[in-house]
Homo-oligomer: A and B are copies of this chain.
Amino acid sequence: MSTVDKQLETVRETIDEVVPREITISDVTYEGPELVIYTRDPKQFARNGDLVRRLASELRKRISVRPDPDVLTPPSRAEEAIRKAVPDEAEISELDFHADTGEVLIKATKPGVVIGQSGETLRKITQRVGWTPEVVRTPPIESATVQNVRNLLQQERDERRDVLERVGRQIHREPMSDDEYVRITMLGGCREVGRNAFILSTPESRVLIDCGDVPGSSQQPYLEIPEAFGAGANGIDAVVLTHAHLDHSGLVPLLFEYGYDGPIYCTEPTRDLLGLLTLDALDATTGEGHAPPYDSERVRDAIKHTITLEYGDVTDIAPDIKLTLHDAGHALGSAVTHFHIGDGLYNVAFSGDIHYDDTRLFEGATNEFPRVETLVLESTYGGRNDYQTDREDAERKLLELVRETHDRDGTVVVPSPAVGRSQELMLVLEAAMRAGDIPEMPIYLDGMIWEATAVHTTYPEFLREDLRDRIFDEADNPFLADAFEPVDGDADRAALADGEPGIVLAPDGMVTGGPVHSWLEHLAGDADSTLAMLGYQASGTLGRRIRNGWDDLPIGDGGETVSLDMRVESVDGFSGHADRQGLENFVRTMNPSPEKVLCVHGDESATQDLSSALYHDHNLRTFSPKNLETFRFV
C-alpha cells in the first residue's frame, strides 16, 4: 500500500468519526489539491450545515463533497426542481448535467441570486436533487474563447479527472527528505524583459513560476538545463502562472511537448486568456512562415491540466508548498504568487507584473501577506528616470491629441496590447465621449481586442467594483458603447483609413507586427493623423525605434520602407506596469516588509537601478540576478 493510500485510510477513519452514521460515504479521493468525498446521501450531508467546515478543520484540507452518481435525480426532473428553487430574476440561460462528477452547471445572468444568502439556495438544490450546483455567469458579451475552453474541459472530463487524481496523489505524498533549503533558479527574465521563468525548489519539490517567450523573437527560457527539465519533464511538481501575457505564459504549451503532465495553477481568466493569446501567437508565427515551437494540441493540453484558484485561496501544491494568489492589478486575473514553504520555514512572493495604483479596470496590487521573506519583483520601470506621467495628466494629453487630430480630420492610431491596456483605453475614451470631452467618432477595435474585451466582461469579479456594477447593468455597460467597432481584416482597414476621422486601437503594443503595422502602412503618409505611443517599448522593437526618432517605416520583408509622415507622440502613464514610484511604493508599504528583493523583468540598468535604490533608501538586501543563477535562502 502506498503512503498516500495509507494516509487516505486515516482520513477515511476521521471522516467516519465526524459524519453521522446515517450518511453513507462511498469513496474518498484526492482530486488536485482537494479531498473529494463521495456520498450516497448528499441530501442529508447538505442538511448538516457545517459538516464540511468541521471536516475541513479536522483534516486541515480543502474538501469537496459530491453525490455518488447512483443517487442523483434524473436530469429532466432535476432541471424542473432547480428552475423552481431559483428565483426568476436570476435569469438562468443554461443547465448542464455532468453525471461523472454529480455537478450541474447553472448559467445565469445573476449568479448571486442563484447562490442565495450564504449559499442557501445551492444547499436547497442539493438537498432536493442530489446534484452539486456550480454557478457561472451568463456573460454580457459572448466570448468564443471562454466557450471553447469550457467545451474542451467538458469533453475531456474523463482525462481531466485522471489528471486531477494523479496530481492529488502527488501533492499528498509523504515528504521524503529531512534536509531543509529553499532555492530560486533563474531560467529567464533576468536583466531583460521577456521569457520569464523561475524554478522554486526545496529538497522535496520543484515549482516552475511562469514560462514566457520573448515578444517578436524565438528565444526561450533555459528550460533544458538540469535544474529545469534536464532531469525529466516531470521532475517539476507544478507550474504556476502570474498572468497570461505571453512573456509569462507563451511557452507553457511547450512544456507538454516536452512531456510535462502535471498541473498548471492560475486564475480562471488567466487560463482562458492563455488559450486566446497562445493560439493567436501560433497563428501569427505560422502566418510569418516560421515553425511554431508547438501546435494547438499542446494549448489544449495546457488547458486540460489547469487548476484554477481564486485570490486568497491557500492551496497545497506540493507536500511542503502552499500557494496563494493575490490581485496584482496589472491585467485580468493577474496575480502576485505567494509560496509558503514548509511548516513556517520560508515565504517567497513573485510579483509577476504589477500595477500599484488603482486603474479604471483594476484595484492596485495587493501587498499585504501573512509573511514574505523574499520578494521577486518586476522592474520594467525600475530605471532611475522611469517616473511616469500621472494617470490624469496622461488622460488629458491623450484626449487633447484626439481632439486636435479630429480637428485636422485625421485618425489617431494607438498601438495597444489586446489584453488590458486596450480595455483601459476603451474606458477612458468612452467616458470622455459620454461627457462630451471629445467629439463622437468611431473607435476601431482591431485584432483580438474585442474578443479580449468579451473575456473581461465574463469575469467582472476580477474588475474594480464600480466597473463590475456597470457591466451588470446592460444600459450602463461601457464596453457596449455604440462608438466601438470591431475591425475585420485589412480590406476593412484600408476603407476605414480613407474614411471619417476616428480612433484606432490595434495590437501589438510594440509595433513588432500585427494589425497596428497595417494601419501604419495605410496612414504613414498622412501628416494629419497621429501615432500615439503609450508605455514601454522593448529594445529592438520597431516601437522603440520610432520613439527614438526613426521616420522610415519598413514595409514587407524586402527591406522597402515608406516615410512616416504622421505626427508621432508619446503618452506616458497608461502602462499596466507600476512606474519607478509605484515599484518603490509597493515595496515601502509592503506588509510585512521583505528581507530580500530580487529585481527581475527589466533591462539590465533598470534592475540594477531599482536594486540599488531599494538597498540604499529602504535598507533591504537586494539583488539584480542573472539568468542561470541560483539563489539559496534557507
Is the C-beta of A61 less than 8 angstroms from some C-beta in chain B?
no
Task: Decide: A631 and B632 in contact? CB cutoff 8 A.
Answer: no
Contact indicator B631/A629 (Cβ below 8 Å): yes
Residues from chain B with a CB closer than 8 A to the CB of A181 are: 628
Chain B residue at minimum C-beta to C-beta distance from A227 = B226
**Contact present for B632 and A632 (CB under 8 Å):** no
Q: How large is the interface on A (under 10, 10 to 19, 20 to 34, 35 or more residues)?
A: 10 to 19
Contact with B along A596-634 (1 / 0, CB 8 A): 000000000000000000000000000000111111100
Chain B residues whose C-beta falls within 8 Å of the C-beta of A232 in the assembled complex: 231
User: Which of B185, B226, B629 sits near A235, CB closer than 8 Å?
Assistant: B226
Bound CA–CA A631/B186 (angstroms):
11
Contact A183 B632 (CB under 8 A): no
Interface positions of A from 142 to 160, Cβ below 8 Å from B: none
A230 within 8 A of B: yes
Closest to A179 in B: B222
- Which residues from B are CB-within-8-Å of A231? 226, 230-232
Report A213-241 CB contacts with B as 1/0, cut-off 8 Å: 00000000000011100111001000000
Within 8 A of B (CB), among A168-197: 181, 183, 185
CB distance from A134 to the nearest CB of B (A): 39
Q: Which of B235, B627, B630 contacts A230 (CB 8 A)?
A: B235
Among A514-573, those with CB < 8 Å from B are none
Using Cβ atoms and an 8 Å threshold, which residues of chain B touch A631?
629
- Chain B residues with Cβ below 8 Å from A630 are 185, 227, 628-630
Chain B residues positioned under 8 Å from A225 (CB to CB): 227
A selection of 22 A-B contacts at a CB cut-off of 8 Å is A181-B628, A183-B628, A183-B629, A225-B227, A226-B226, A226-B227, A226-B235, A227-B227, A227-B630, A230-B230, A230-B231, A230-B235, A231-B232, A626-B632, A627-B632, A628-B630, A628-B632, A629-B629, A629-B630, A629-B631, A629-B632, A630-B630
- Name 19 extra pairs, CB < 8 A, besides A226-B227, A231-B231: A181-B628, A183-B628, A183-B629, A185-B630, A225-B227, A226-B226, A226-B235, A227-B227, A227-B630, A230-B230, A230-B231, A230-B235, A231-B232, A626-B632, A627-B632, A628-B630, A628-B632, A629-B630, A629-B631
> What 10 A-B pairs come out closest when comparing CB atoms?
A630-B630, A226-B226, A226-B231, A230-B231, A231-B231, A628-B632, A626-B632, A629-B632, A226-B227, A629-B630
